[in-house]
């Protein structure tokens, strides 16, 4: 397995439209394993193949809502979505404070449909059709945006989006570019996807 470099704004490759996955080959299975390793290392809760420069309709997710371990802590819950589609977005909306591994260290409230009916294939080629809500619904919509070249900051006002991009530019210019960017003391680590 390998940790893959994650594309960051303003890389134009993040704006490509991803192509459908034709079949779950060994190559795809290796990519899925690498994407999980990359996501856990970042750390993040979701990652689209487009973010690691492979423009195909594949994404991985782990919201840490798996079966509890002996101490009662929720366990990992790796999920794979291949060629996902949203069939029925709900009319009611919810707001989550979103972050993105391609928009480093920036978070903003984004409003999206609260529930969605979605269809996708998993890594075993099994088709799923399910109603999703809460963080799972939001995270799937965030990741599916990546497949269409859209970033969460595109859902913000132009003013807010420009502020976010300027902050990233400033952080890079301030010498914190590269790996291991410093976080302000006491800041809680939030989930990015
Ligand atoms: Zn993202």
- Let me know: does 146 contact 165? Beta carbons within 8 Å: no
Ligand 1 ion: nearby residues, β-carbon < 5 Å: 100, 193
Listed in sequence order, the residues at least 6 apart from 32 whose beta carbon sits closer than 8 Å to its beta carbon are 58, 60, 80, 123
- C-alpha of residue 155 to centroid of ligand 1, in Å: 12
Q: Which residue is listed with tokens 């423009």?
A: 55
Q: Which domains does the chain have, with CATH numbers?
A: 12-174 (3.90.45.10)
**Residue-wise pLDDT tens for the chain (193 aa)?**
899 999 999 999 999 999 999 999 999 999 999 999 999 999 999 999 999 999 999 999 999 999 999 999 999 999 999 999 999 999 999 999 999 999 999 999 999 999 999 999 999 999 999 999 999 999 999 999 999 999 999 999 999 999 999 999 999 998 654 444 444 444 456 789 9
Rounded to two decimals, what is the model's pTM? 0.91
- C-alpha of residue 88 to centroid of ligand 1, in Å: 22
- C-alpha of residue 104 to centroid of ligand 1, in Å: 10
- C-alpha of residue 113 to centroid of ligand 1, in Å: 17
Q: Residue 164, preceding bond cis, omega within 30 degrees? A: no
């Amino acid at each position: 397995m390998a940790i893959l470099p994650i594309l960051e704004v303003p890389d134009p490759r993040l704006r490509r439209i991803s192509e459908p996955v034709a079949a779950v080959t060994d190559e795809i299975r290796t990519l899925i394993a690498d994407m999980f390793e990359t996501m856990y290392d970042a750390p993040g809760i979701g990652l689209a193949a487009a973010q690691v420069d492979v423009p195909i309709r594949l994404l991985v997710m782990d919201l840490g809502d798996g079966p509890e371990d002996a101490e009662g802590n929720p366990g990992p819950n790796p999920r794979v979505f291949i060629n996902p589609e949203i069939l029925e977005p709900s009319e009611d909306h919810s707001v989550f404070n979103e972050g993105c591994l391609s928009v480093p260290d920036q978070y903003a409230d984004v409003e999206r449909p609260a529930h969605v009916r979605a269809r996708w294939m998993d890594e075993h080629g099994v088709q799923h059709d399910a109603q999703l809500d809460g963080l799972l619904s939001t995270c799937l919509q965030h990741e599916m945006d990546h497949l269409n070249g859209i970033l969460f900051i595109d859902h913000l006002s132009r003013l807010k989006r420009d502020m976010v991009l300027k902050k990233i530019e400033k952080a890079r210019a301030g010498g914190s570019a590269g790996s291991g960017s410093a976080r302000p003391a006491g800041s809680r680590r939030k989930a990015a996807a």
